[in-house]
Amino acid sequence: MSAMENGVPRIGASLKEDARVLETKSASGHEVREAMDDFLSAFEDFKQANDERLGEIERKMSADPLTDDKVDRIDRALDRQKKMVDELALSLSRPEMGGEGVTLDPARREHKQAFHAYVRQGETGELRALEGKALSAQSDPDGGYLVPAETERMIERIVSEASPIRAIAGVRQIGSASYKKPFTTGGPQTGWVGETDARPQSAAPQLAELEFPAMELYAMPAATSTLLDDAAVNIDQWLAEEVQTAFAEQEGKAFVTGDGVKKPRGLMSYDTVDDAAWEWGKLGTVSTGNAGAFPASNPADKLIDLIYAVKAGYRANGRFVMNRATQSIIRKFKDMDGNYLWQPSLAAGAPPTLLNYPVTEAEDMPDVAEDATAIAFGDFKRGYLIVDRLGVRVLRDPYSAKPYVLFYTTKRVGGGVQNFEAIKLMKFGA
């Protein structure tokens, strides 16, 4: 990965050694199983240590500091082990480019060869001719050239796997600058009538419109001439892997905290209101009743309240979204029978569950603090929409950071809440 840092391209961290063939690290099934076994073993250690802590609180009204420290250390180790399992499972599930036996049609093969010539040698003639022949409105040498469709799909697949909100939200591809979605502010006009009954006149629906503009997101990977000259390097795969982290990190942050100015509008940017007074255009909240914390007794009751604040139609596909620190707090909760509410998945790559609902870890969600909305619950596929404008562009720049070649890579993406009923937030306040 390479991006801009204080306006200066980050070169060294993103480059492979000269004359070194690009390698893709791939996990084996055995490695994933071993990591998963270690993770489940760590969770058993965590439960044992936390049970010890709870026993001390019950007997002495407080836990021994050494026990608290032990629980915290195991909890942090559990987070690291879970991250390792997820990364290994992701690596195992990701096919190498060109390894799927796909035969390209002549036009696509020609475009791919022309694109490779542009990336490796800066040759633009073939690409200009092809895009001109196609009468492409997307043809713009100053803005770069479209990557082959296969490369674009690979970038989107990798980013989707690495971006937590994208993985659970609704996604729509568009060919224009924005997507507009009409909705009725008073709900649809419906009712029951007999086959021959006169249809009652209904009031004209009050229509409003949500707009989701696609904003430009960029990354700027860098390469040495040696890497570009090496015929063994898979250029498509190199480009996809170089931009994936930059795109995923920027998207992940924008989908949570973005203000909608030159970026998507994030979940946390919308006005909130107590769910009892909910209205369209705002996200309903369920309060913990305790500033900056869960209630001291029966904290799980508030999680149940949050679940049932969501209508049944959305609850069926509901999931929790929170960051790692919040998950660490909840991991210690038990029900009245002494069972832990948070449970690890038994399958590598699958999310843990909380009260039998999956948990998505999004690090850009706020920490637990006074009046923070640190936990979201709902049907994100119906509640939050991501729009992708078709086409990923690359502009080759061999001049700005000699002897390196920069590749200004752009895509257009937008996002925002599309259904304010489908998602509710937990507010840590009175």
The verdict on residue 160 lying in a domain is yes
Tokens at 23, concatenated = 């390698």
d(C-alpha 219, C-alpha 209), whole Å: 32
- Is residue 214 within 8 A of residue 178, CB to CB? The reply is yes
d(C-alpha 356, C-alpha 352), whole Å: 9
- Is residue 384 within 8 A of residue 185, CB to CB? The reply is no
- Residue 152's domain comprises 1-16+147-185+209-323+362-430
Write down the H helix ranges in 94-230.
106-121, 125-133, 149-162, 164-168, 225-229
d(C-alpha 341, C-alpha 375), whole Å: 15
**61 and 8, same domain (yes or no):** no
**7 and 58, same domain (yes or no):** no
**218 and 283, same domain (yes or no):** yes
The verdict on residue 203 lying in a domain is no
Q: Which of 382, 423, 387 is nearest to 211 (CA)?
A: 387
**50 and 164, same domain (yes or no):** no
- Is residue 300 within 8 A of residue 355, CB to CB? The reply is yes
The verdict on residue 151 lying in a domain is yes
Residue 180 has a pLDDT of: 92
The verdict on residue 156 lying in a domain is yes
**86 and 226, same domain (yes or no):** no
**413 and 311, same domain (yes or no):** yes
Amino acid at 39: F
The verdict on residue 308 lying in a domain is yes
> Within 13 Å and on the Cβ side, how many CA atoms surround 315?
11
Residue 1 has a pLDDT of: 40
**6 and 48, same domain (yes or no):** no
d(C-alpha 236, C-alpha 226), whole Å: 16
Cβ neighbour number for residue 290 with a 10 Å cutoff? 15
Q: What is the CA radius of gyration of the chain?
A: 25
**292 and 173, same domain (yes or no):** yes
Q: What single DSSP character describes residue 277?
A: G
Report the CATH number that the domain containing residue 289 is assigned in CATH.
3.30.2400.10
Q: Which residues pair with 377 in a beta bridge?
A: 320, 424
Residue 13 has a pLDDT of: 36
How large is the angle between the packed helices 125-133 and 106-121, nearest 10 degrees?
150
How large is the angle between the packed helices 149-162 and 65-93, nearest 10 degrees?
160
The verdict on residue 222 lying in a domain is yes
What pTM did the predictor assign? 0.76
What is the dihedral sign for C-alpha 129, 131, 135, 140?
negative
The verdict on residue 376 lying in a domain is yes
d(C-alpha 104, C-alpha 207), whole Å: 45
| Number of domains forming the structure of the chain | 2
- Is residue 390 within 8 A of residue 411, CB to CB? The reply is no
**75 and 223, same domain (yes or no):** no
Looking at 93, 117, 137, the residue that finishes a domain is 93
Strand-pair category, 405-417 with 222-223: antiparallel
Q: Which residues pair with 320 in a beta bridge?
A: 359, 377
**8 and 44, same domain (yes or no):** no
The per-residue pLDDT string of the chain (430 residues; one tens digit each, 9 = 90 and over) reads 444 444 333 433 333 333 333 333 445 667 777 777 777 777 787 877 777 777 777 677 777 788 778 778 877 877 777 777 776 766 665 555 444 445 567 777 888 888 888 889 888 888 777 766 554 444 455 567 888 888 888 888 778 777 899 999 999 999 889 999 887 765 556 678 777 777 666 565 667 789 999 999 999 999 998 999 988 888 888 888 889 888 988 999 999 999 999 999 999 999 999 999 999 999 999 999 999 999 988 899 999 999 999 999 999 999 999 999 999 999 999 888 888 999 988 776 688 999 999 999 999 999 999 999 999 999 999 999 999 998 899 999 999 988 999 999 999 999 999 999 999 999 999 8
Q: Which residues pair with 358 in a beta bridge?
A: 353
**62 and 158, same domain (yes or no):** no
Residue 2 has a pLDDT of: 41
The verdict on residue 59 lying in a domain is yes
**381 and 241, same domain (yes or no):** yes
